[in-house]
Structure 1
Amino acid sequence: MRVLGVDPGLTRMGVGVVEGRIGAPMRMVAAGVLRSPADAPIAERLLVIEGQVEQWLDEHNPDAVAVERMFAQEGVRTIMGTAQAAGVAMVAAARRGLPVALHTPSEVKAAITGDGRAQKEQVAAMVVRILKLSSAPKPVDATDALALAICHVWRGGAADRIAEALQRQGVSLPSGNVPMHRERGRRKGGFR
């Protein structure tokens, strides 16, 4: 399973792609940061981010996209820009028919470190360890995006296995409960 993790932000959006599955070593495919000019109007900034997200989707061909779920801990102005940037990433994925999952920071921390209240340094250290890197990617937004992608591989893969087991037993899932990823290459042709 190949997952694009997105740590949303209007000025800096962390992106990271990992490949792996539950019970097997995971590897980093790419990590980086997308940027938009702080002095541009919001609509132009979102357009810049959308173009960069599209490039990452084209280049890395993920099976799913994992985005950090926002919560209103900071000021409304900050959360609005971050939420708008997250929405752009989700729309770009949906346009391609890719499943999108939202994970809260505490879910990611718990999945990566075992502690939902872990510090950023602890998460970064575990990302380095899990992906067998020499150091954490910089800036921290890229490392956070990798953590999101790792979390999704582990959580999304488990959800897929449960859904498949239920389907084999003849249990139908309520609408909206579909497997979290698809076989690679089956989603070409746009939104379904």
Structure 2
Amino acid sequence: MIVAGFDPGSRRFGVALLLERQGTIRMLHCETISLKQMDFLERMQAMWHNLNEILERFRPDEAALEEGFLGANARSQNVLAQVRGVVMAAMIHHQVPLSLYSPRTVKQAVTGSGNAGKDQVQRMMGRLLCLESGAFKEDESDAMAVAYCHLLSRPRGVMKSARTTEKRRRK
């Protein structure tokens, strides 16, 4: 199963695709879509285009998106709501089931603490997926965390991270 995870932002947008096979979770792809040099509507159009390319290339079975958080100001909330709308529209267009998770739920699933900082999430995703530190950006690790949270939340058998599998091979 392939799960796409998204960390929405209007200027930088994290995308990660995780592959779960036989209970083991591995990184398939991650990237940060950078949209800084465009006006808002151009950014939304570029995001739509990039999302469609990713969805056509990897054909995820399911997707997960981080919900907005209440701490942001009203303007930021509005912009992020529109960004999430672009993601939702792309998922509907490609008929990919989408689940939403609060930032607290994602952090809890990945680090064990709903109050974890971005650096903790990034370190933990590196450990769980056996990736070298610095091999991915903050937006990418957040997207990985959303996808990982979704995989852990699914009513399936026991999931193992790549790290657990690596340890077993070494013995």
TM-score range, shorter chain: 0.7 to 0.9
Q: Is the 8 A contact 1:3 1:19 kept in 2?
A: yes
Question: Match of 1:75?
Answer: 73
Question: Match of 1:35?
Answer: 34
Q: TM-score, normalised by structure 2?
A: 0.85
What is the RMSD computed on CA atoms of the aligned residues? 1.7
Question: Match of 1:189?
Answer: none
Q: Is the 8 A contact 2:63 2:97 kept in 1?
A: yes
| One-letter amino acid of the structure 1 residue matched with residue 14 of structure 2 | G
Listed as ranges, the matches of 1:1-192 within 5 Å are 1-20=1-20, 24-40=23-39, 42-155=40-153, 157-158=154-155
Query: SS of the counterpart of 1:26?
Result: strand
Shift of 1:63: 0.6
The alpha-carbon distance between structure 1 residues 137 and 83, as it changes in their structure 2 partners (threshold 3 A), is farther
| Max Rg structure | 1
* Structure 1 ranges of 4+ moved more than 3 A: none
Question: Match of 1:179?
Answer: none
The alpha-carbon distance between structure 1 residues 80 and 147, as it changes in their structure 2 partners (threshold 3 A), is same
Query: SS of the counterpart of 2:120?
Result: helix
The alpha-carbon distance between structure 1 residues 37 and 55, as it changes in their structure 2 partners (threshold 3 A), is same
Q: Which runs of 5+ in 2 are unaligned?
A: 158-171
Q: Is the 8 A contact 2:69 2:103 kept in 1?
A: no
CA distance in 1, matches of 2:26, 2:122: 15
CA distance in 2, matches of 1:38, 1:102: 29
Query: SS of the counterpart of 2:29?
Result: strand
Q: TM-score, normalised by structure 1?
A: 0.76
Shift of 1:71: 2.3
CA distance in 2, matches of 1:16, 1:31: 4
Higher strand fraction: Structure 1 or Structure 2?
2
Identity across the alignment (%):
33
Q: Is the 8 A contact 1:125 1:136 kept in 2?
A: no
The alpha-carbon distance between structure 1 residues 147 and 62, as it changes in their structure 2 partners (threshold 3 A), is same
Q: Which runs of 5+ in 1 are unaligned?
A: 162-192
Q: Is the 8 A contact 1:4 1:18 kept in 2?
A: yes
Shift of 1:135: 1.8
